Chains A and B, each alone.
Chain A
Amino acid sequence: MMESTGGMSTSLRGGETAVDRCRRYRRRILDISQRGVVLHIAPAFSCLELVDAAYHDLMQCDGDCPDTFVMSKGHGCLSQYVILEDIGVLTEEHLNSYCRPGGVLGSHPDYGVPGIEASTGSLGHGLGLAAGMALADKVRGDDRTVFVVMSDGELQEGSVWEVMMLVPSLGIANLVALVDLNDFQSLGRTSETLPNFYPMRDKVEAFGWECQEVDGHDSTAVVAAVRDRTRTKPTMVLGRTTKGKGVSYMENVPIWHYRSPSPEEYQQALREIEGGR
């Protein structure tokens, strides 16, 4: 774990705040986008602060039993890759060969790549895998926590709710799910696709989880929500986010689930990221 002061945590680069760090990560993702056809920039931008909070402020990475990160929202993995590069788990070469022949990083995470604890990409799988890991840790008495980042569209998978039911019933408390509540799925707004799914927090709590809903781009709030958990139940933090956060023409525009910016769009995106908007 990095030296931490809540959401204003500092990374290896002295004095850098979570805001600065995430700005740097967004720039890096944009740089990668200019090396070839890159999918899923907007999904990575929406969950970036959640992933950043997990790696830099929440996960205990030292010792024999380091905490585990599972990117169940597999299509958000660019956010994870740039952080793994930053903390020295992946190399610059790894990221520069993203989605290219001979590279090992694709647009969904692949188990066996450094820092990737589970293969994901098909939604609704990561929470069950995390539950199995957390159960093994519980039975062995290992003091470690499994962190999972999920998408809100993913919560429509029935497999998620099977596991939601199971985890508290097995007495698993060492599991933290961070949900990227960007209100978008491929064909439109999640809240318009399945309006009866909301409010979500009540449903999560009804299944026996602790749950808080926070601004998912406010690192301080995300970190506090996780740190304040009682550790007697599994925890789910619903982070309200904006898909494509930080780039005006990407924000809440479905096509940016898939598109890569043109050179002109790239320059505009950089300016907006640097400007902090």
Chain B
Amino acid sequence: MRDSFARTMYEVGHKTKDVFIVVADISPAGSMAPFRKDFPDRFVNVGVAEQSMIALCAGLALRGCRPFAYTIATFSIYRPFEQVRVDVCYQNLPVTIVGIGGGLAYSTLGGTHHAQEDVAIMSALPNMTVMAPCDPAETAAATWAAVACNGPVYLRLGKAGEPDLTSTAVDPYVFGRIRRLRQGRDICILSYGSITKMAFDAAEAIEKESGATVAVASVHTIKPLDREGIARVLQEFSTVVVVEEHSPHGGLGAQVKEIAWESGARCRLATFSLKDEFIHAFGSHGYLLERHGLSVNALTSAALTPAHGRSV
């Protein structure tokens, strides 16, 4: 995703005047080399100083520029939270804050590098738009959507090497609309970000084990949330599963439950998230997810077991 973002920003730089990339000394920013080469004045490394990164972006935006702040997700929003809230959101400025390694992508770097609550915290801020694309192509689309936004954006990205999930998508990418990626009639899995790959694997496993067909939809725009689209899914399918790489609080699962209640949905609804716990363990990304109950097997069991679904 980060390479797709960097390639897209290179295109954006050539087509959109006054786009800046402001980084806080982060090694993945190396993929920005072409942008940096062509636009040396518009690529700024503030050093290990995230408060400066966000404040500088806000100041640039006050002059009509379109800045992108870029570093590891935890550092992009937690350290400079008040700059995000006051400088960017309170003044409603078109600053995009890019968080690399959303969720547990930095699985061996420890809890300091896990963005487990980022979607909830950013969604709670007035004026903020929250996007989390699921693969490199959707990252490119979301980046262009961020450029078009006239207010603050939090763009939660994965790391590198995420597989293609969208080249055979049923729906095109439309900002603010859920996107059907995989066709199915009985069960629908809603997800966002890089864990959407797990939703695809679970869909295949469920279809193998049962006669049910399974749809997968990308909820790439978490705020503003496509409440009508989600209500339609809840009406259309007998079983809906939500899977997200995020705290159980304030993410997609809780909002889908809210929509289910408000829309009088009658389907079975199972939500999967990270536990409300910090992670003091190391290993592969998949290993950490499994420790928090997120695996293809868990999703498959929940989808196929009548009247079962781990509610969180």
Task: Give chain A's interface residues, CB within 8 Å of chain B.
Answer: 111, 117-119, 121-122, 124-125, 127-137, 139, 158-159, 162-163, 165-166, 169-170
* B60:A163 contact, CB within 8 angstroms: no
* A128:B51 contact, CB within 8 angstroms: yes
* B55:A129 contact, CB within 8 angstroms: yes
* B52:A135 contact, CB within 8 angstroms: no
Residues on A with C-beta less than 8 A from B91 are 111, 118-119
Q: Which of B4-12, B40-48, B105-113 contacts A (4 or more CB under 8 A)?
A: B40-48
* B52:A159 contact, CB within 8 angstroms: yes
- Which of B56, B57, B63 is the one whose CB lies under 8 Å from A166? B56
Residues on B with C-beta less than 8 A from A163 are 52, 55-56
- Which of A125, A135, A137 is the one whose CB lies under 8 Å from B87? A125
In the A-B complex, list the 3 residue pairs whose CB atoms are closest, starting with the nearest: A132-B59, A128-B55, A136-B63
Contact of A162 with B63 at beta-carbon distance under 8 Å, contacts A125-B87, A139-B42 already known: no
CA distance A158 to B55 in the complex (A): 13
* B90:A119 contact, CB within 8 angstroms: yes
Residues on A with C-beta less than 8 A from B18 are 136
| Interface of chain B: mostly helix, strand, loop or mixed | helix
1/0 per residue, CB under 8 A from A, across B89-104: the answer is 0110000000000000
- Which of A119, A121, A132, A137 is the one whose CB lies under 8 Å from B55? A132
CA distance A159 to B53 in the complex (A): 10
Size band of the interface chain B makes with A: 20 to 34
Residues on A with C-beta less than 8 A from B142 are none
* B58:A132 contact, CB within 8 angstroms: yes
Contact of A131 with B56 at beta-carbon distance under 8 Å, contacts A139-B41, A139-B42, A170-B44 already known: yes
| Interface of chain A: mostly helix, strand, loop or mixed | helix
- Which of B41, B56, B62, B87 is the one whose CB lies under 8 Å from A117? B62
CA distance A119 to B85 in the complex (A): 11
CA distance A165 to B56 in the complex (A): 13
* A129:B52 contact, CB within 8 angstroms: no
* B83:A128 contact, CB within 8 angstroms: yes
B259 interfacial by beta-carbon distance below 8 Å: no
* B90 shortest CB reach to chain A, Å: 6
Residues on A with C-beta less than 8 A from B54 are 128
Residue of A nearest to B57 (CB): A132
B269 interfacial by beta-carbon distance below 8 Å: no
Residue of B nearest to A158 (CB): B51
CA distance A134 to B65 in the complex (A): 12
Residues on B with C-beta less than 8 A from A139 are 41-42
* B46:A136 contact, CB within 8 angstroms: no
Contact of A129 with B62 at beta-carbon distance under 8 Å, contacts A119-B86, A122-B82 already known: yes
